[in-house]
Amino acid sequence: MKPDIHYKVLEVEPGASQNEIKQAYKDLAKVWHPDRFTDNPRLQQKAEVKLKQINTAYEFLKSYQPHLTESTIEFEIEKPVEVFINSEKLEKLLKLGKLKEADHETKRLLLELAGREKEGWLLPEDVKRFPPQALSVIDQLWIKNSNGRFGFSVQSKIWRKLGCNSSDDMSTQIISENRFGQSVGWRKGSTWLSAWDSFNYDVQAPQGSLPREYIFTLGGWWSYSKGWIGYLLWRFDELFLKL
């Protein structure tokens, strides 16, 4: 997609400064956040699509360097790296049946892997760079200690079973996310449960509903900072589909 389209979405001139881009993003995210339209499902769905467009444009433009050309960009071949993940605490919590604490520890481990514990949220490139072997360690602990009810790969199987699709088409993606969220109990009616809503943290919770807290790190800077969840699952499928 050409940069001009992203500038148009954020309503700024091509070549705008990073400060102008960031301010435009904040303004538009506030205007179009779906939580403003909870009394109108039609407008809320429209806002979800619009907000995804805004976030996609912002994620592209905040790292876009228009002064670089193909001849000036150097490409490095990525080399396999060994990833160490200390999962002892997670394993202990799961064995003790402390699912809420284990859920929180899972989120912490993902942030630690990305080096973003301080920020508390993940960038799109962080999700894409997650090493499958580290995700697999977390996943297997959840599966082993829940008799196969919980884990990233369990969520992946449910996603596929429901016929959900990961798509660049935002309407298609939102339909899939809503269907999945309803199935695992992350969504009630037309509303996503927030981080502070009560949630069923026991072995009888809906299959695939855990881990859950990690999704609250995937909503983008503005949504995360304000605690808003209009398009909660943005890029979450990129995480477990790597397994």
Q: How far apart are CA 3 and CA 60, in angstroms?
A: 8
pLDDT at site 62 = 76
- Record the pTM: 0.65
pLDDT at site 211 = 94
pLDDT at site 221 = 40
| Of residues 128 and 151, more confidently modeled | 151
Q: How far apart are CA 32 and CA 46, in angstroms?
A: 9
Token look-up 């596929």 returns 160
Q: How far apart are CA 3 and CA 57, in angstroms?
A: 8
Lowest mean pLDDT among 20-24, 51-55, 221-225, 229-233: 221-225
pLDDT tens-digit map of 227-237:
444 444 556 67
Q: Band the pLDDT of 38: cuts 50, 70, 90.
A: confident
- Which residues does residue 192 pair with via DSSP β-bridges, in sequence order? 187
Q: How far apart are CA 142 and CA 243, in angstroms?
A: 14
Judged against a pLDDT cut of 60, whether residue 76 lies above it is answered with no
Tokens in use for 232?
């909660």
pLDDT at site 185 = 93
pLDDT tens-digit map of 19-28:
888 888 888 8
pLDDT at site 234 = 57
Q: How far apart are CA 45 and CA 101, in angstroms?
A: 33
Q: How far apart are CA 107 and CA 117, in angstroms?
A: 9
Domains and CATH numbers, the chain: 3-72 (1.10.287.110), 91-240 (no CATH)
| Of residues 232 and 106, more confidently modeled | 106
pLDDT tens-digit map of 179-210:
898 999 988 887 878 777 888 898 889 999 99
Task: Give Cα separations from 134 to 45, 189, 224, 242 (angstroms).
Answer: 35, 34, 24, 11
